[in-house]
């Protein structure tokens, strides 16, 4: 198994165990760029940490996450996730999302999320 596949599998396992922030600290670069669809990208680990903490802090009921498909390329991984939760501001969310990650030196340097609102 390639090192990248091992890292991606561990990251996904941490998310499934409810340890998304631990996965973030372990696998995301200090200068990571994260972007939701075509929204303005958020640059830097500190700014993205705050965004992630705010997101998870607003989930009032978490019913599940399931990685449906995983793809691996050269320094790129993609995961299609299905999520089901209730968010304090957005209400019930039950949808699929594709996360595309670019890796460098064992860390995610860029991640973009594609989903339908």
Question: What average pLDDT does range 36-49 have in this prediction?
Answer: 97
Question: What average pLDDT does range 29-37 have in this prediction?
Answer: 98
What CATH number does domain 3-115 carry, 3.40.50.720, 3.90.190.20, 3.10.450.50, 3.40.109.10?
A: 3.10.450.50
Domain ranges in the chain are: 3-115
What is the pLDDT confidence band of residue 11, given thresholds at 50, 70 and 90?
very high
**SS3 (DSSP) at 17:** coil
- CB count, 10 Å around CB of 74? 6
The answer to whether 96 touches 84, Cβ cutoff 8 Å, is: no
Give the pLDDT of residue 117.
65
The answer to whether 96 touches 81, Cβ cutoff 8 Å, is: yes
What digits encode the pLDDT tens for the residues 60-74?
Answer: 999 999 999 999 999
The upper half-sphere exposure of residue 109, i.e. CA atoms within 13 Å in the direction of its Cβ, equals 7
Q: CA-to-CA distance for 61 and 10, rounded, in angstroms?
A: 24
């Amino acid at each position: 198994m390639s090192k990248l596949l091992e890292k991606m599998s561990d990251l996904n396992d941490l998310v499934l165990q409810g340890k998304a922030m631990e996965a973030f600290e372990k696998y995301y670069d200090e200068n990571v760029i994260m972007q939701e669809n075509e929204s303005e990208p958020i640059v830097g680990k500190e700014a993205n940490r705050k965004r992630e903490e705010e997101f998870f802090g607003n989930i009032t009921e978490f019913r599940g996450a399931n990685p449906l498909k995983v793809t691996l390329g050269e320094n790129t991984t993609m995961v299609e996730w299905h999520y089901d939760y209730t968010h304090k501001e957005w209400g019930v969310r039950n949808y699929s999302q594709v996360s595309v990650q670019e890796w460098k030196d064992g860390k995610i340097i860029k991640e973009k999320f594609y989903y339908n609102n």
